[in-house]
Amino acid sequence: MQFNFSEIIWILFLLMALMPALKQQRLEIMRLRLIRRIEVSRQSRLITLIHRQELLSLLGIPLSRYINIEDSEAVLRAIRLTPDDMPIDLLLHTPGGLVLASEQIARALQRHPARVTVFVPHYAMSGGTMISLAADEIAMDENAVLGPVDPQLGEFPAASILEVVRQKDKDKIEDRTLMLAEIAAKAMTQVRDFVHYLLSDKMDEARAKELAELLSSGNWTHDYPIDSEQLKKMGLPVTVGLTDDIYSLMDLYPQPAQRRPSVQFIPLPYGRRENERGGK
C-alpha cells in the first residue's frame, strides 16, 4: 500500500489529535488502579477532591478551580454508596470555595458512622479546612497547611466590613456598605456556629467555642497558613506523615490542558462481602 505526501500529513495530524485523549485515558486508568489499591490496603472508600490552576483548551486562559455544588453532589453520592461500617478517606487539595458546598461535604462526613480520615499533602484552605475539621483524623505532610475559615463577601473579608462600620460614623457610611455589614454579621455567626458544631465532639465545649471563634473571626488574613504544629496546639486530631501511595496519587493529577472532574471515586456500592474477598 502506497501513500502520497498529503495522506501521510493527514495521518500524522490525526495521530497528533488523538494523542492527548489517549494520554488522558491512560492517566485515568492509572488513577483508578492506584485509588483501588489504597482502598484495598486501608479497607476504606477513597475520594479525591483536588483543585489546581488549569488551562482552558488551547487558549491558555487560567481557570481557578474551587469547591462548588458539583463537587458536593459528587462527594455526597460517594458517601451514600459507602456502607456505614466502612471508613472514608478523603484526599484534599483545594484553595477553598463555596460555604454551602463545603458545609454540605463536612456535615455528610461528620454524620458518617465509621472513621473519616482527611489526607492533606499540600494545602486545604478555607472551605477545605472546614471539611478537614469534620474528620476523625487529619493526616498531613510535614509542610502542608490549613487556613482560617472566616467568610468572604465578594473580594472583602466579612470581618473587615464589620470593622469599617464599627470605626466610622454610620451617618457617613453608604447604605450599600451597611447592608453588606448586616450580611457579614450573619455570615460570621453562621460559620462560627457550624465550626463549633464540627468541633463539639472532638473537645470540651469551652475549647470548641474558643477555637471556632479563633478560626472564623478574621484574626488572620484569609490565606494565613496554619501548620501541623499550630493545629496540634489547638487540640485538633492531626498526624504528620503520608504514605508513598498518597504522593503517587497526587502526581497523577497534573495540570492538564483540558478540564477534568475534580472529584473522583469508583462509582460502585461497597459491601462487607467484597471487603472480605480483598476487593477482587
Helices (H), the chain: 5-42, 69-80, 99-111, 127-132, 158-167, 175-199, 205-216, 228-233, 244-251, 272-276
What is the spatial distance between Cα 123 and Cα 38, in angstroms, rounded to a whole number?
21
What CATH code is carried by the domain that includes residue 87? 3.90.226
Q: Is the domain of 189 the same as that of 231? A: no
Angle formed by the axes of helices 5-42 and 244-251, nearest 10°:
150
| Residues of the domain holding 169 | 150-222
156-157 and 152-153 strand pairing? antiparallel
Residue-wise pLDDT for 55-83, tens only, equals 443 344 444 578 999 999 999 999 999 99
Look at residue 22 and tell me whether its pLDDT is greater than 80: no
Per-residue model confidence (pLDDT) at position 170: 76
Residues 86 and 186 in one domain: no
Tell me the pLDDT tens digit for each residue of 78-103: 999 999 999 999 999 999 999 999 99
Quote the CA–CA distance of 10 and 162 in Å, as a whole number: 63
Are 114 and 46 found together in one domain? yes
For the record, the C-alpha cell of 188 comes out as 460570621
Choosing from 189, 205, 222, the residue where a domain stops is: 222
**pLDDT 10s digits, 111-160:** 999 999 999 999 999 999 999 999 999 999 999 999 999 999 988 899 99
Q: In terms of domains, do 264 and 229 share one?
A: yes
Domain-embedded: residue 17: no
pLDDT score for 93: 96
d(CA 201, CA 193): 14
Q: Is 91 part of any domain?
A: yes
Separation in Å, CA 152 to CA 12, 66, 163, 183, 221: 50, 14, 14, 11, 11
Assess whether 118 and 211 both reside in one domain: no
Are 128 and 231 members of one domain? Answer: yes
Q: Are residues 209 and 245 in the same domain?
A: no
For the whole model, what pTM was predicted? 0.82
Residues 119 and 56 both lie in one domain: yes
Mean pLDDT of 206-224: 95
133 in a structural domain? yes
Same domain? 95 vs 191: no
